[in-house]
Structure formats: structure tokens, C-alpha cells
Structure 1
Amino acid sequence: MIKALHGVSTYHSNAVSDIHLAHETGYDGVEFFIDKLIRYLDNGGKARQLKQRLDHYDLKATCINALMGVDRHSGTDRQALLTEAERITQVAAELECPTVQLNPGHYTDHCTTSDRVAIITQNIGEIARIGERYGIRYQIEFVASSQFNTLPLAMQVIDTLGVDNVGVVMDFWHLHARGVSTPEDVANFDANKIFGVHFCDGRRPRDNEPWDEMVLRNYMPGEGEIDIPAYVAAVKQTGYDGAWSPELISPTLWEEDHKIVAEMCLENMSHYID
């Protein structure tokens, strides 16, 4: 088991500081938040320098989170997606980071389910071929607020592609929020297709409430409505032994000291998973 600091939990920090925070607070690795990583690179930073910092503290890069909008399908949008995928995959290889996360957006919300799945399957298939050149794999996150929002939909893409470098991330909130998949579904899942776990809490939107993750996920694990022990037990039952990352989307706690938040997230997760 690898415990990785999730860069979104320390939202107002930066990529370099997240490495230091992970070391100071006792994590084994870092799940890099892509906005911080791109900002670092666009302002002159080099992936090899980040890798040197990771090595200095004996930390692993576990994931880059996330390449957004994998459902882009118009000509220019789709080409932009593939260009971004090439860049991020190369950076992942330089960081010796095994996994890049792929998130759908709302580009296919108007499509039929079959057309949506076909578009996403085609796009991820092309991205997977990029990954094969670099030795990188991809974890699909099905997003509750989109129309690509359940574990079965993600598995449809994975089964159709039939490649080794595409799997899923088990994100407790996204699993719970749509009310489709259960801990039992997770427990019966193939551990070889689980590439990451996002340890988090929250709640579903109430009647006529928007899908605002800043509100719906503004909870430390144990404070929301998700059965955290059940999901933890389910993941463990699969035999999964990879990275666990506490993903805290909390505008309230983002204003706290970054080190305190990193410590809180690790202590909270450890309480449930150790």
C-alpha cells in the first residue's frame, strides 16, 4: 500500500511544495494535481527537477490528476486533447509516474449513451496507444456530474479496448453520488483494473441542488454520508495493493495551513485503512 498526498487537498500550494509537504507529513508519494504541474512547467520548471526532489525524499509520483475532457470530439477540440495527452504522458514518464488520470467533461452530455461511450472509447484508445510508447497507464474517473458517471460505463470502455494500460480509479464520492454502484460491486471488481483509490467523503445533491463539488464534497471522511468503512473493506477484498490518496475538495480547509491539512488527511485515512 502506498499513501500519496493528493495535490488537490492542498489546493493553494504548488507542485514543489507538495513534495516537501508529503515528506514532512509522512506520505509515501504524491498524486500531482495537473493544474499545479502545468503551471510549474509553463513557468520554466522541468520534470527532471521534480523527479530529483522526489528521489531526495524517497517519494514516488503515483498519478497525474487529471487530463480533463476525454469526451472532446470536435476536430479542433479532439486534436487539442491528443496534444495534451502526449505532453502529460511524456511528463509522467520523466517523473517515473505510472499513471495518468482521464476525466470526461460535458462535451457528450447531449449524445445518446451509445454514441457517448463510442466517442470516449475511441479517444481513450488513441491515448492508450500514446501511453504504450512511454510505458504509462491511464485510470478512468467516471464523473458523477457528467453523463459518463458510473462504474459500469467505465468498464464498458475498458472491456471494449481490451488493453493492459487502461483501468479505473475507485473514487468513493463518485461511486456513491450516483447511487448506482455499491461496495459489493467494488469488492467483486478485478484488482488488476484498479489503478488508484481516492479516499473521500461527501453527499449527494438534494432535490434541485446543483452538482457543485465544492459544496457536496466539503467534508472530511467520516463527516459525510458515504459508508467509508464499507468501501475500504470492499477495495481491500479485491486484493488491491496500490496507491491510496486522500482527496479533499474543501474550500473551507483549503484556507488552513497546508501542512496541517496534509497531516489531517493522512491521519484520517490511516485511521480507516490501516
Structure 2
Amino acid sequence: MRTALHGISSFHSSLVTDIRLAAAAGFTDLEIFYPKLVRYLACGGTIETLRQRIADAGLRVSHVSALDHIERHSHEDFEYLLREARKITREAEMLGAQTVMVLPRNGIDHLSRTQIMDIMTRNIGAIAAIGRDHGIRYMIELPAFTQFHTLAQVQEIYDRVGATNIGVVVDFWHFHASGATPEDVAAMDRERIFGVHFCDGRRPKDSEGWDETVLRACMPGEGEIDLAAWSDAVRRSGYQGPWSVELISPWLWEADPECLLPKLQGILAQYAAPV
């Protein structure tokens, strides 16, 4: 069983600190939070040194997360998106990662469903083509608070793009908040599940906004998500890859990560372990 530390869970820690603490906590993998990698490289670090440090710690990189705002669609913004895609793809390849997460936001929510699907098909298809030259896959996050958030929409992308290196991340909170069910996950094609985000939280109340730092501000097991049911659904799908623990809580980010991360690993291992 592979368990990964998603770098957003230790938000204030450096990437180098993440490596040390993830290994000490018993994780096998890292899901690198991309802003930390950008900062590390901007401050003079190198991919080669980082990769050696990860290997020396007995870890591997499962995912790099994320190529953000993939809904950008004006000519200039689209070209810039592809430059970013090439950069993160090369870096992921050099780190030995297999998968890069791609993340849509709210930039096209005002458009019709047809327009949204046309833009996402073009953009994801272009990104997938980049990955084929580097052996990189892309897992699509389906944010519950956008107009691109359903399994039916991502299936349409698969059908229209026709690429095998695009899949989805089963994010417990996003799936739960968007109205998906564990049975939906159990019925998924396991070859299209490229990752799992093990997390908790709640849906917004009436008139409450979609602020993840509020809605997800809890340890796994303290929210409204039935973690046992969702974990069982992942196993029933046949998925065999790594599970990442993802914590989005400003208060818990202030905790000592040396104490917090072993707790997260213990909870994740409890639910992810085969029954």
C-alpha cells in the first residue's frame, strides 16, 4: 500500500522539510505541492539535488500538483497555459513522477455547457499531447464549486480527446460536495483513476460560500464524509495506486508538522489498507 503526503497538508513547510518529515512519518510517496517546487527552484535549488534527496529518504514522487487554471482560453492565455504545461511536465519527468494533476477553476463558469466542454476538450487534449512525449499522465480534479465537476463531463472528455494519459483524481471532499456517491466511484474504470485525495469536510450551508479553508478545516474523521464508505468504494473499483492525504485547514497548518504528519499518516493507513 502506497501512502503519499500531499504537500498542501504541511502548507508552511518547505519542500525539503516535507521530504524529511514524510519519511519519518512512514509515507512512501510525495504528492509535491507545485508552489513549493517553484519556490525551491527559484531560490537556487535544482531538480537533480531534490531527486537525490527524495531517493535518499526512501521516497518517490507519485504526483505533482497542480497545473492550475486549465480553463484559460483566450489565444494569449491558452499559449501561456501550454508553456506552463510543458514546464511542469518536464519537471515531473525529471523527478520520476508519473502523474501531474490539472486543475480547472471558475474562469468559464459563466459560459454555456457546450462552450465549457469545447474549451476543456481543446485544453485537456493539448495538454495530453504534451505528456505523450514525456511519459506523463494528467489527472483531472473536478472542483465541486465549478461548472466542470461531474463524472459525466470527464467521461465526455475521454471520449472526445481519445487519449489514454488523462484520468481523474478521486477527491473525497470534491466528490461528496458535488453530489457524487461511493457507488459512483466503485463503478469507475480503474484505469482512469490516477490518484486518490483522502480528505474530509462538509458541504456549504445555505447562503454559505465555497471557502475550502472553512469547509475542509478539520482532521480526517471529523467532518461529514463517510470515509469508510468512500475508501471501500476505491478498493472495489480495483484502484491499486497511491492514496494522498490532503488537509486544507489554516488552523491545523499552524500545528507542528512533526507531530501532525504522523497522525495524518496513521489515519490514512487505517482507511487505505486492504480489508
TM-score by length of 2: 0.97
Q: Write the distance in 1 (CA, Å) between the matches of 2:211 and 2:171.
A: 16
- 2:144 maps to what in 1? 144
Measure how far apart 1:49 and its partner are: 1.2
How far 1:112 sits from its partner (Å)? 0.6
- The unaligned stretches of length 5 or more in structure 1 are none
- Tell me the amino acid that sits aligned with residue 150 of structure 1: T
1:41 is paired with a residue whose SS is helix
Kindly tell me the number of residue pairs found equivalent between the two proteins.
273
CA distance in 1, matches of 2:178, 2:29: 30
CA contact (8 A) 1:109 1:116 kept: yes
- CA distance in 2 between partners of 1:53 and 1:156 (Å): 40
Partner Cα separation in structure 2 for residue 159 and residue 201 of structure 1: 31
Q: Which residue of 1 aligns with 2:245?
A: 246
Q: Aligned with 2:133: secondary structure? A: helix
Aligned partners of 1:4 and 1:245 also within 8 Å = yes
> Residues 56-101 of structure 1, C-alpha deviation per residue, up to 9 Å, x if partnerless?
1221100011111110001221111111100000000000100000
CA contact (8 A) 1:138 1:167 kept: yes
Partner of 1:268: 267
Within a 5 Å distance, the mapping from 1:181-196 to structure 2 comes to 181-196=180-195
Displacement, 1:268?
1.0
- Report SS of the residue matched to 1:134: coil
Deviation at 1:151, TM superposition (A): 2.1
Regions of 4+ moved over 6 Å: none
Q: Is the CA contact 1:15–1:37 (under 8 Å) kept in the aligned structure 2?
A: yes
- 2:66 corresponds to 1:70: no
**Counterpart in the other structure of 1:209:** 208
Contact 1:151 1:175 (8 Å CA) reproduced: no
Give the whole-Å Cα distance in 2 for the aligned partners of 1:159 and 1:44: 42
CA distance in 2, matches of 1:141, 1:24: 29
Match of 2:9 in 1: 9
Deviation at 1:188, TM superposition (A): 0.6
8 A Cα contact 2:4 2:242, kept in partner:
yes
Give me the whole-angstrom Cα distance separating, in 1, the residues matched to 2:24 and 2:263.
13
1:122 aligned partner: 122
Alignment partner of 1:55 is 2:55: yes
Please report how far the alpha carbon of residue 273 of structure 1 lies from its aligned counterpart in structure 2 after TM superposition. Answer: 2.0
What letter matches 1:254 in structure 2? Answer: W
Identity of aligned residues (%): 48
Aligned counterpart, 2:226? 227
Quote how far apart the aligned CAs of 1:135 are.
0.7
Q: Is the 8 A contact 2:103 2:141 kept in 1?
A: yes
C-alpha deviation, 1:155, in angstroms? 2.0
The alignment yields a C-alpha RMSD, in angstroms, of: 0.9
- CA separation in 2, counterparts of 1:219 and 1:151? 26
Q: Does 1:90 align with 2:81?
A: no
- Residues 243 and 272, structure 2, Cα contact 8 Å, conserved in 1: no
Alpha-carbon shift at residue 259 of structure 1 (Å): 1.4
Q: Could you tell me how far 1:105 is from its partner in structure 2?
A: 1.1
Deviation at 1:159, TM superposition (A): 2.4
> What's the CA shift string for 1:233-262, capped at 9, x where partnerless?
000001111010110001111000011121
Distance 2:48 2:146 in 1: 35
- Alignment partners' CA distance in 2, 1:234 and 1:98: 24
1: CA distance between counterparts of 2:51 and 2:159?
34
Distance across 1 between alignment mates of 2:86 and 2:140: 17
- Cα separation, 1, equivalents of 2:183 and 2:11: 32
The alignment partner of 2:174 has SS state of: helix
Q: Tell me the distance in 2 between the aligned counterparts of 1:160 and 1:222.
A: 38
- 3-state SS, counterpart of residue 100 of structure 2: strand
TM-score by length of 1: 0.98
The Cα offsets for residues 165-205 of structure 1, whole Å up to 9 and x where unpaired, read as: 100000000000011x1100100101110000000000000
Cα distance per residue 1:109-139 (max 9 Å; x no partner): 1111111011011111111111011110000
